[in-house]
């Protein structure tokens, strides 16, 4: 029996009590385990991915998605960093499980069509012709997936790209991205050798140290224990690791999201990791987050929450944690992103950019706006008494019914 409901601040409010014939025991009992909830998440995610359709026939896989310059850090100094976005086969985790709930990168890939080593190399050569790589001490190579998974990117391609990089003496560090379960020692060692002794750093979506957030809210598919083993292995090979932490996963309140990042940064600091990246959730097409957003069940984080989070990190961890905020522009279109009321967004965005240079929270002093009290305060004080599995099941049921009613 469907219970009439309304949405308020991302929380579904039941309009009347559930009748005895459909007791709450039927809805929220141990019969619905976390695995059942995860199955629901993956079923929705997989169905949404199929809406991407097939890859456009006119895409040239010898041309990358693009590249851009961002702030990087080397020897505790801000430097110029080049980000190269290669057009790839796509993350295998999407094919297996529907992928992470917030990630729409699959739209920018070949969606499973194999990209050859020659095509990947040609994409990097395209960048070399357009940009002087020698201007960048740090080069990041992203493939919207896992660079150490040979089913996504042939080892021969990354080795050839690294051999090109070895010709630029000014490049001191190379950053790649991969899930931690795609990092065979032999593959990593070959890449290190091809780089001629340069520093190699592996960025990976750690997202959260909380197992429920990591796996139910995000569908990450591994644990903090898996990360500990991965981090130990990489350190043993002289490879840096950089956790990417998600700011405001779906199904969390604003206050819970800030607290989750703080606890995850503390976890990373306890493992001796000094640099972490905050990846701020954006709304990207054909994702679980997109579906929640369309039904007023998700709002990207407030900029005030980011400022609050950065100030709290500085106060708690000092120089033990350098917390960088990644720009919320990616290889795919975003429909919504971190924001306040609109009047103060640009000013706070520029302050965050300045903060990223030296991790100086003094950049936020004196910033204020009426929305800090009128909107943000209410958002961070809002609570959700339900467990994470309960709220996920209710919100997914709401989404399913909304989809059925629109057919």
Residues found in the chain: 407
Per the CB < 8 A criterion, the answer to whether 367 and 344 are in contact is: yes
pLDDT exceeds cutoff 60 at 28: no
What pLDDT, on a 0 to 100 scale, did the predictor assign at position 15? 43
User: Between residues 57 and 65, which one has the greater pLDDT?
Assistant: 65
Query: At the topology level of CATH, where does 5-405 sit?
Result: TIM Barrel (3.20.20)
157 phi/psi in degrees, rounded to 5: -70, -50
Residue 14 backbone class (left: φ over 0; alpha: ψ -120 to 50; beta: rest): beta
Mean pLDDT of the region 208-230: 95
pLDDT exceeds cutoff 80 at 251: yes
What distances in angstroms separate CA 165 from CA 152, 180, 245, one per listed residue?
21, 24, 28
What pLDDT, on a 0 to 100 scale, did the predictor assign at position 295? 97
Distance CA 67, CA 129 (A): 12
Q: Where are the domains of the chain?
A: 5-405
- Tens digit of each residue's pLDDT (9 = 90 or more) over 253-279: 999 999 999 999 999 999 999 999 999
If you write DSSP's letter for every residue of 297-320 in order, what string do you get?
---PPPHHHHHHHHHHHHHHHGGG
- Tens digit of each residue's pLDDT (9 = 90 or more) over 331-379: 788 999 999 999 999 999 999 999 999 999 999 999 999 999 999 999 9
Q: Which of the four pLDDT bands, split at 50, 70 and 90, describes residue 196? A: very high
What pLDDT, on a 0 to 100 scale, did the predictor assign at position 12? 54
What pLDDT, on a 0 to 100 scale, did the predictor assign at position 332? 86
Token pair for 147: 């660079």
What pLDDT, on a 0 to 100 scale, did the predictor assign at position 30? 46
Distance CA 95, CA 112 (A): 8
What pLDDT, on a 0 to 100 scale, did the predictor assign at position 84? 97
What pLDDT, on a 0 to 100 scale, did the predictor assign at position 54? 78
What pLDDT, on a 0 to 100 scale, did the predictor assign at position 33? 82
- Tens digit of each residue's pLDDT (9 = 90 or more) over 2-11: 344 555 555 5
167 phi/psi in degrees, rounded to 5: -80, -5
Token pair for 70: 């961002």
What pLDDT, on a 0 to 100 scale, did the predictor assign at position 53? 76
Specify the 3-state DSSP secondary structure of 96. Answer: helix
Lowest-confidence pick of 122-126, 284-288, 403-407 = 403-407
pLDDT exceeds cutoff 90 at 72: yes
Q: Which residues are CB-contacts of 32 (< 8 A; sequence separation ≥ 6)?
A: 389, 393
Average pLDDT score, the chain: 91
Per the CB < 8 A criterion, the answer to whether 137 and 149 are in contact is: no
Distance CA 206, CA 269 (A): 14
If you write DSSP's letter for every residue of 15-30 in order, what string do you get?
SSPPPGGG-HHHHSST
Distance CA 307, CA 361 (A): 8
pLDDT exceeds cutoff 60 at 24: no
Token pair for 278: 């905050």
What pLDDT, on a 0 to 100 scale, did the predictor assign at position 335? 95
What pLDDT, on a 0 to 100 scale, did the predictor assign at position 10? 56
- Torsion angle of the four alpha carbons 160, 166, 172, 178, in this order, in degrees rounded to the nearest 10: 10
Mean pLDDT of the region 14-41: 59
If you write DSSP's letter for every residue of 208-268 in order, what string do you get?
-S-HHIIIIIS-----HHHHHHHHHHHHHTT-EEEEEEEES-TT--HHHHHHHHHHHHHHH
Per the CB < 8 A criterion, the answer to whether 332 and 285 are in contact is: yes
Residue among 89, 97, 195 at smallest CA distance from 143 = 89
What pLDDT, on a 0 to 100 scale, did the predictor assign at position 402? 93
- Half-sphere exposure at residue 312, Cβ-oriented, CA atoms within 13 angstroms: 16
H-helix or E-strand spanning residue 292: helix 288-294
- Tens digit of each residue's pLDDT (9 = 90 or more) over 148-191: 999 999 999 999 999 999 999 999 999 999 999 887 888 899 99
Lowest-confidence pick of 70-74, 108-112, 132-136 = 108-112
């Amino acid at each position: 029996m469907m219970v009439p409901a309304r949405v308020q601040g991302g929380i579904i409010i039941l309009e009347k009590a559930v009748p005895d014939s459909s007791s709450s025991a039927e809805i929220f009992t141990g019969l619905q385990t976390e695995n059942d909830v995860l199955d629901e998440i993956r079923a929705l995610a997989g169905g949404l991915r199929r809406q991407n359709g097939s890859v456009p026939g006119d895409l040239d896989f010898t041309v990358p998605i693009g590249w851009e310059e961002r702030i990087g850090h080397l020897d505790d100094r801000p430097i110029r960093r080049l980000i190269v976005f290669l057009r790839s086969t796509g993350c295998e985790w999407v094919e297996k499980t529907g992928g992470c709930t917030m990630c729409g990168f699959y739209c920018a890939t070949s969606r499973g069509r194999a990209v050859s080593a020659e095509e990947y190399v040609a994409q990097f050569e395209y960048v070399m012709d357009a940009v002087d790589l020698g201007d960048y001490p740090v080069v990041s190579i992203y493939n919207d997936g896992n660079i150490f998974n040979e089913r996504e990117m042939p080892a021969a391609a990354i080795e050839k790209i690294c051999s090109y990089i070895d010709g630029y003496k000014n490049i001191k560090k190379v950053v790649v991205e991969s899930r931690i379960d795609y990092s065979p020692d032999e593959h990593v060692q070959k890449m290190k050798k091809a780089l001629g002794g340069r520093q190699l750093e592996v960025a990976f979506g750690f997202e959260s140290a909380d197992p429920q957030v990591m796996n139910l809210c995000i569908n990450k598919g591994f644990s903090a224990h898996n990360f500990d083993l991965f981090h130990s292995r990489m350190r043993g090979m002289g490879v840096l690791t950089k956790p990417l932490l998600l700011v405001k996963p779906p199904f969390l309140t604003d206050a819970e999201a800030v607290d989750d990042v703080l606890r995850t940064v503390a976890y990373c600091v306890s493992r001796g990791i000094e640099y972490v990246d905050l990846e701020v959730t954006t709304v990207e097409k054909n994702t679980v987050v997109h579906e929640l957003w369309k039904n007023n069940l998700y709002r990207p984080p407030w900029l005030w929450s980011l400022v609050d989070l950065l100030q709290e990190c500085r106060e708690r961890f000092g120089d033990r944690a350098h917390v960088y905020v990644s720009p919320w522009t990616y290889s795919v279109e975003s429909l919504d992103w971190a924001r306040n009321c609109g009047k103060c967004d640009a000013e706070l965005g520029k302050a965050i950019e300045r903060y990223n240079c030296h991790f100086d929270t003094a950049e936020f002093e004196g910033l204020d706006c009426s929305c800090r009290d009128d909107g943000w305060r209410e958002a961070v004080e809002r609570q959700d008494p339900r467990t994470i599995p309960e709220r996920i099941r209710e919100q997914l049921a709401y989404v399913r019914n909304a989809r059925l009613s629109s057919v």
